Structure 1
Amino acid sequence: MTVSGAARGMLRTEVDRSLKTFLDHQRAVGGGPDVVPLFDAAEDFLAGGKRLRPAFCYWGWKAGGGGDDPAVFTAAASLELLQASALVHDDLMDNSDLRRGMPAAHRRFQALHEKEGWNGSAEQFGAGAAVLLGNLLLLWSSEMWRTCGLPAEALAAAQPAHDHMRTELMCGQYLDLLEQAHGENTFESALRVALYKSGRYSVERPLRLGLTLATRGAPPWTDALCSDYGTGVGIAFQLRDDVLGVFGDPSQTGKPAGDDLREGKRTMLIARTLAAAPPEAAAVVRRLLGDPALGAEGVATLRTIIQESGALAACEEMIKQYLHDALEALERAPITTEARTALADLAVAATTRDT
């Protein structure tokens, strides 16, 4: 049994409608024609995405006994603004050129500067505008959450989890930078980054927000569901992201092939490769990883080493095991069949995707 396509489509439609309503309001009260490019960039950036975080929040709400209050879609949609903020800043930190097949925000604003022939450095303008866009999206995510229309007592009950999620995300981004700066990573450190940078804020925290909004408290079973199901799916989600960052099809991922290799991402895939590859092959990985000029031949070389070391197979097995354990935990939760089925479908979608 799976959740119907109509139900998935309804959720996306409602989330998209909430985002459009909010963005239209921001345009109406915005700072005039000169900031239109900022608003246009935000709108274009929000047009894509899988809406996974709002989906986990919504089905957490339903799992907690929440009704058909349309305000929950607005609360859930606010998480897309948080995600967009993180991606804008992430692309700038990684010096990425593309996101979802379009220019990354800093490249977009750099191109605007060059087209208009403005004074100063186009690259610096692009970077500064991207920082501001990311900050704006972060502020908007809080505003949309706060003004979603759910009862004040429900929002107050969920606020600590909401605050913690944003702090955790920023710490995870820093840990990601730190791993690249250190130059060597262990299984433990790679797993920590996977958990803090994406795993918790992509799955566990949205799920917890929905559950807490509905229950206005923390029944013991909600903690178990969030930690056992949410954390497991979240880690598997990030491990899949790491695999796609090396082996993904650019036509599906919207980013150049092997981008994570050029950026020197110290993922579980790389940690396992360095631990298992012969010394000569490990030396090649260390030499090529993080080279911004890495071409197709270098990407192919690293992919071969990763595969031959057994690291890719090991990460695939980890994803499978985390998903298996999460689904077992889901079966133990005292929730409706509809919510259980939806959360099972979301877990599979999050960990077997190709984008």
Structure 2
Amino acid sequence: MLDEIDVHRWLRASLFHRRFSRHTDAHPWRHTPSHTRTVCSVPSPIEHAELGTRVGSALTEFLRRQRHRLTDIDVELGRVAEAAELFILGGGKRIRPAFAYWGYRGAAGPDGDAIVACVSSLELLQASALMHDDLMDDSDTRRGEPSVHRRFATHHRDAGWSGSPEHFGSCAAILLGDLCMTWSDEMFTGGGMSADAVGRARADFDFMRTEVSAGQYLDVLTQAQRDTSIERALKVARFKSAKYTIERPLLIGAALADGSPELRECYSAFGLPLGEAFQLRDDVLGVFGDPSHTGKPAGDDLREGKHTFLIASAYETTDAAGSKLLDELLGDPELDVSGVAALRQVITESGALDRTEQRIDRLAEQTRAALEKGRPLMVPEAFDMLERFGEAAVRRRL
């Protein structure tokens, strides 16, 4: 039931339940006024083939086995297992398993429990990245719930243990994140796919983990150096999100099905711009998004001082007063509502928000063109699902 709830939350946030009017000159993936949208009854790529439910079931069974393994070591580890279950089963868009699954099906790979279990491992990798990301950003919440390090710090404090609750929480989050990374490898290789299939996909799986770690470091470095260049912002977006969220999962799916080099080329041409557009949309939501949809406090990215394309564009085009305000307020963990409003005004008046939306539109067009070019190489059902993903990824609402 938790996975079903999460799917519906994302459907509301991403406009999966809407199709864009094709009766105007504007491309359907570009912004379309609300009065031209019509409700669509076609299932989303995560609902189709009951994929969301099946991924949830695979993760539930895997984590059940891991709980037994941990508690056999020591009953105290039951709390670690519980934290993993709450985090992994209690939320998440499941988009990485979905892209890997449809990448596999697009390469004519047959459906089955083994492929679902194999690609579900990407959710464990995502959990690891998010646990560590929340710790590095000192985030209080994730998906509207306490972040892992806050959860363990609270447990330490409530239990009256010795030492610092915050240090204990940080240690627990690091170790649980590492454990999820280890589990992702175990589930990927042990999900039931043949050794040959896993061997073909191994390089992409390994590259994926290296690239997201590199992107994460560059993100931290960019904030420390106060690098406001658009070049660095785009590099972080590419390696921390674009390749990790869309391109690599598609390539993993293609490799598992022994897809052709031509199909892999198509997936990269489709996945990279879509992944960048997805991240740019995420950056906009991080500043202007509704907390009831994002699961994080309003303006949280501003408090964390994230130097995204949106922020880099504001620095490039604002006046001296705007730059001064950005320097003073960006990255202030105590930033209040008025401070968030002031930064939003700078970003909007500088034209950075419009510039970001325009870049998203251009990337969406590249994505559409790449997918259309690859249509003859793909199973039609998978083509349809990827087309819907393209629409949804760049059109999540504020």
Range into which the TM-score falls when normalised by the shorter chain: over 0.9
1:299 aligns with 2:340: yes
SS state at 1:300 partner: helix
Aligned to 2:77: 35
Aligned to 2:46: 8
Instruction: Output the amino acid matched with 2:273.
Output: G
Identical aligned pairs, as a percentage? 47
**Runs (4+) of structure 1 moved beyond 3 Å?**
1-4
Aligned to 1:22: 62
Instruction: Output the amino acid matched with 1:211.
Output: A
Aligned to 1:328: 369
C-alpha change, 1:199 and 1:6, in structure 2 (3 Å) is closer
Deviation at 1:21, TM superposition (A): 0.6
Aligned to 1:126: 169
Deviations 1:329-350 (A, max 9, x none): 1011121221111001112222
Aligned to 1:222: 263
SS state at 1:29 partner: helix
Deviations 1:18-38 (A, max 9, x none): 000100011111133201111
**Aligned-residue CA RMSD (Å):** 1.4
| 2-structure distance, mates of 1:201, 1:6 | 21
Out of 197, 204, 214, which is 1:171 matched to? 214
Aligned to 2:357: 316
| 2-structure distance, mates of 1:50, 1:349 | 12
Which shifted more, 265-274 or 178-187?
Answer: 178-187
| 1-structure distance, mates of 2:180, 2:370 | 34
TM-score by length of 2: 0.86
Deviations 1:62-113 (A, max 9, x none): 1111012220101111000000100000000000101000011100000000
Aligned to 2:118: 75
C-alpha change, 1:7 and 1:340, in structure 2 (3 Å) is closer
| 1-structure distance, mates of 2:41, 2:257 | 21
Superposed counterparts of 1:134-213, under 5 Å: 134-213=177-256
C-alpha change, 1:152 and 1:4, in structure 2 (3 Å) is farther
| 2-structure distance, mates of 1:232, 1:93 | 27
Structure 2 gaps of 5+ residues are 1-18, 20-39
| 2-structure distance, mates of 1:52, 1:68 | 17
Deviation at 1:222, TM superposition (A): 2.2
| 1-structure distance, mates of 2:300, 2:230 | 21
Deviations 1:176-211 (A, max 9, x none): 001001112211110000000111010000000001
Aligned to 2:284: 243
Deviation at 1:219, TM superposition (A): 2.2
Would you say how many aligned residue pairs link Structure 1 and Structure 2? 353
| 2-structure distance, mates of 1:326, 1:7 | 17
C-alpha change, 1:6 and 1:279, in structure 2 (3 Å) is closer
Superposed counterparts of 1:249-288, under 5 Å: 249-288=290-329
| 2-structure distance, mates of 1:68, 1:223 | 19
TM-score by length of 1: 0.97
Deviation at 1:7, TM superposition (A): 6.4
- Contact 1:106 1:129 (C-alpha < 8 Å) held by counterparts: yes
- Contact 1:3 1:338 (C-alpha < 8 Å) held by counterparts: no
- Contact 2:45 2:385 (C-alpha < 8 Å) held by counterparts: no
Which shifted more, 203-212 or 4-13?
Answer: 4-13
| 2-structure distance, mates of 1:348, 1:98 | 28
| 2-structure distance, mates of 1:318, 1:33 | 52
